[in-house]
Amino acid sequence: MDLQAHFSDIRAVIAGELDVATESVVAAVAWLTDPVLLEALVKAARRGCRVQLALLDDAINRPSGAKLEQVRAAGGAVFWIPEAERGAGSLHHKFCVIDGAAVITGSYNWTRRAGRADENILVAQGDAALAQGYLAAFERLLEKYALRPAAPALDTRPIMQRLEVLRNLLLLEDFETVATQWPRLEAVRALAPIAAVLERLRVGAWAAALEQIQAVLARGLALAAWQDPALAELRLELLTLEAQIVALSSEQAELERQIEAFAHQQHVAIGEVMAECLHLRWEYWRLRAERSRAEADQTAQAEAEADQAEFQRDREAFEQAPRPATLDADQQQELKRLYREAVMRCHPDRVTEADQAAAQTIFVQVQRAYQQSDLDTLNRLHRHLTEGQPFPDPAQVWTEQDQVRGRISRLRLEVERRLAEIRALRASETYQTLAAQLDWAGYFATVRQRLEQECAALRQKIAESGHGG
């Protein structure tokens, strides 16, 4: 499973996902006016993807009619949700499911103006439960407005029994018998979790297939068999929030890692000359204040002294902190992959309450290894979490809406907290500086040259004052 949060270039991200669709695109969005996304949907339909769209039936969507007709002409379907229901939140999620496996959801509207706002999306790859949940939500939406007849209830018991047989055969490494059993699930390939299992079995990815089967058995196929629409929507929101928290945790950790790496390189490149420059600034203003007794000069001296003291504290902390490892581009990608997968297995918000304390301990270790670019330690923790599986996924079996609402309320607050922290990191002076520099070494060289020039000028001023420095 791969979860990523996006805060910029969101249109390009969505269009990129649509461009690689090969089988199906299912989307429910209130408004669809973005010409880039409309064209991507038309192209998807023309290359044979089954495109299904649920849109709000109001004037905002009218200008998109020509493109939507092209979607229809290529075999796609457009379902109009009555405008009178806008206030009911029927299209609250603004979601898209691609090839029954990839989910795009978040605050971003598929409109011309959406890119100007402070929005974000979650892209989840390989989360079968989440994908199936959104596909079921799409069907419920159409059934609610009589746009599609209600599907008959699915008896999942034979499917689960077949999966248990396959799991046991895989554990016994009886792959020959597995090959005779898995085709019996082809009749229910439309279920995203089953499709994921079948794809892994088809290519002989036995370990991955076993992991997927165990996940389905743990979660059940409840997403496909829920009877209570209200509870189903709540459980879907819960799954989405859990995925979003993992993605935001990864985004925040990456920002913090970048800031830490930049600060480290900065201290190495200019720390010595910066310390000298700050000392000379203080010395210069000290001499001026002694001579003039002016309040402005005394204030400048105090500020220079405070700057020098703050930098010294930062420098001492830097010298005591462990040095982050230097990784090449491939190692950086591997580090990110291991981190995301590890976090999905040990994030305290994705385990049972009984496991949260233990999960938090490992989560902190994972965070520390990632921030220090410690690939070896992260590999070890990843193996522990994937092979040992100390924290099995919660069963996700809820019987009362109040239970789900309580957990949703807590996770909503956690999401807002994470979003606020990410925005603060992105707005910080350090991140703004590092994000603007493609060549950090060149930037530090320029800064070092400027500081050396300032040091030379300050020495000259101090010497001219009659006080050799």
Write out the catalytic residue numbers.
92, 94, 99
Task: Give the residue from 233, 170, 234, 231 showing the smallest Cα distance to 204.
Answer: 170
Q: Are 237 and 136 in contact (CB under 8 A)?
A: no
Q: Which of 29, 205, 20 is CA-nearest to residue 114?
A: 29
C-alpha 416/C-alpha 153 separation (Å) is 37
6, 123 Cβ separation under 8 angstroms: yes
Q: Answer whether 159's CB lies under 8 Å from 223's CB.
A: no
Q: Which two tokens stand for residue 465?
A: 């004052």
357: three-class secondary structure by DSSP: helix
One-letter amino acid for residue 442 of the chain: G
* Spatial CB neighbours of 199, under 8 Å, sequence gap ≥ 6: none
How far apart are alpha carbons 253 and 324 in whole angstroms? 14
> For residue 150, what is the DSSP state?
P
The alpha-carbon radius of gyration of the chain (Å, integer) is 28
By 3-state DSSP, what share of the chain in percent is helix, strand and coil, each rounded to 5?
Answer: 70, 10, 25
**Separation of alpha carbons 341 and 360, rounded Å:** 15
